A and B are shown apart, each in its own frame.
Chain A
Amino acid sequence: MASAVHLTSAVALAGRFPALSGVDLSVDHGEVVAVVGPNGAGKTSLLRLCAGLLPLSSGQGSVLGHDLVEDPAGVRRGVGFLGHAPALYDELTATENVRFVLRAAGLPVSRGAGALERLGIGGRIARTPVGRLSAGQRRRVALAALVAKCPALWLLDEPHAAMDPAGRELVAALIAEASVQGVAVILTSHELALARSLADRVVSMAGGRVSRIFEGQRSAPDDCRDDPGALGAPASGVAARPTPVPTLAGGAHVA
């Protein structure tokens, strides 16, 4: 099977200045890659390029089999992007926001309730306009929309930002579950230890280039990847490999 993401000498501009200066990266289906680096290193630009939001200026790139230059619309259909700022409408409730995302993607809205519950957004909170929720709760709602959409590539820009410890564990569990089901995940983080614990590989960036790639510490036995049911119940700690939930397992990935 082809890589979920394949970039060769990828250059992308932010205005007149290069945000990415010749990035080579390949990410397989089911692989979790963490991107670390200082501010301005190009982490967010890399995610935006992979989401089809930042045009490829030179080099070559394909995401989920769609060429970044020839078919950016195809790329966008298959990815889920959690940016710094959650793409939510303040006046709409959490439920309405998730339903809008699903309807826009042509997916059944019934997926939304389970995803929100999974992210701890239920009951009264789900019926509250997201503008009144805390930053962490808003992030959970945005993540619920992504989980409900079930894309084949998750692009998570500092997914732990504004999250409490329980939220961080939940994010780690969701990433692990997604990976088990063949979803490729690229996430950014400023916390190297956290990035290593979540990822199969860690990509260090500086000045818009990949400066180093090293192994992550995520334990992922091959037999478990092929048999999600063999995984144990969720435990505390980011290295835990929880049981897949219907939210993720229920629908086919959007690719």
Chain B
Amino acid sequence: MLRDAWLVAGRDLRIEARSRVALWQVLPFALLALVLFAFALGPDRATLASAAPGLFWVAVLFSGVLAVHRSVAIESGEGTRDGLRLSGLDPAGIFLGKAAAVALQLAALEVVLWLGMRVLFGVTIRAIWLAVAAAALATIGLAAAGVIYGALSGGLRVRETLLPLLVLPVVAPVLLAASRVWSAAAVGAVGAGESWLRILGPFALVYLAVGVVVYGPLLEAG
């Protein structure tokens, strides 16, 4: 399963590196969203700094939907879904590989967004380990849930519009918890952040487990 996951993740990342959609479309979209949020909130640095964690994770969430959409599109090419079904790869490995590829792209995006947020909003993080832990768990959860719902909508003609409708409500707890952890991390309130961190861990684990189980049937149904 892990060998298959490695193979699929490598393939997806290579395809993304070649197409450069993440670099030229998803990343600019995320930065643009951050700038527009700043415009909407006005020039007050205190307001921007307090809203920054929430804005950051909203930008990550919307960009995540685009990244998942790209991941689904890889398997939506002519005949490629049949090819994957005939490949002999373990569906659980395919799921883990696709989720890992999306998660790595999101992690890279988060680093750039964080730098942008520091420049635009002047935000600093005091409890860095807390913010990193929250980002890691939230990213895994977003990627896992996204790939599951991506597979669910993958065989449908309306997947472009359906995917955000399916994914965004499901990952709302991630948005809430990650924002709260980052707000706490910004002021060094580790205790307050840790309680929200306990939501992100199980979310990521549950969606990873669900994906391992259901990805095969979803691939067949598509």
Least Cβ–Cβ distance between B98 and chain A, in angstroms: 13
Question: Quick check: is A4 within 8 A (CB to CB) of the other chain?
Answer: no
Question: Quick check: is A163 within 8 A (CB to CB) of the other chain?
Answer: no
The interface-forming segment of A95-103, A118-126, A184-192, A205-213 is A95-103
Which A residues are closer than 8 A to B by beta carbons? 51-53, 76-77, 79, 81, 83-92, 96, 100-101, 103-106, 129
Which A residues are CB-close (under 8 A) to B88? 76-77, 104-106
From 85 to 101 in chain B, residues with beta carbon under 8 angstroms from any chain A beta carbon are 85-89
Task: Report the separation of the CA atoms of residues A51 and B18 in the bound assembly, to the nearest whole angstrom.
Answer: 31
Which B residues are CB-close (under 8 A) to A89? 11, 15, 74, 77, 80
Which residue of chain A has its CB nearest to the CB of B18?
A91
Contact present for B18 and A87 (CB under 8 Å) = no
Which B residues are closer than 8 A to A by beta carbons? 4, 7, 11, 14-15, 18-19, 74, 77-80, 82-89
Q: Is the interface of A mostly helix, strand, loop or mixed?
A: loop
Which B residues are CB-close (under 8 A) to A106? 88
Contact present for A76 and B85 (CB under 8 Å) = yes
Task: Report the separation of the CA atoms of residues A103 and B8 in the bound assembly, to the nearest whole angstrom.
Answer: 10
Contact A87/B79 with A76-B86, A104-B89 known, Cβ cut-off 8 Å:
yes
Task: Report the separation of the CA atoms of residues A77 and B7 in the bound assembly, to the nearest whole angstrom.
Answer: 18
Contact present for A103 and B18 (CB under 8 Å) = no
Interface pairs (27), CB distance under 8 Å: A51-B82, A51-B86, A52-B86, A76-B85, A76-B88, A81-B82, A83-B79, A84-B79, A85-B78, A85-B79, A86-B78, A87-B78, A87-B82, A87-B83, A88-B79, A88-B80, A88-B83, A91-B14, A91-B19, A92-B11, A92-B14, A100-B7, A100-B11, A101-B87, A103-B7, A104-B7, A104-B88
Task: Report the separation of the CA atoms of residues A87 and B74 in the bound assembly, to the nearest whole angstrom.
Answer: 11
* Most B Cβ at <10 Å: residue of A52, A79, A90, A106: A90
Which B residues are CB-close (under 8 A) to A91? 14-15, 18-19
Least Cβ–Cβ distance between A109 and chain B, in angstroms: 11
Instruction: Give me 19 other A-B pairs in contact (C-beta within 8 A), A81-B82, A88-B77, A103-B7 excluded.
Output: A51-B82, A51-B86, A81-B86, A85-B77, A85-B78, A87-B84, A88-B80, A88-B83, A89-B74, A89-B77, A89-B80, A90-B77, A92-B14, A92-B15, A92-B18, A100-B7, A104-B7, A104-B87, A105-B88
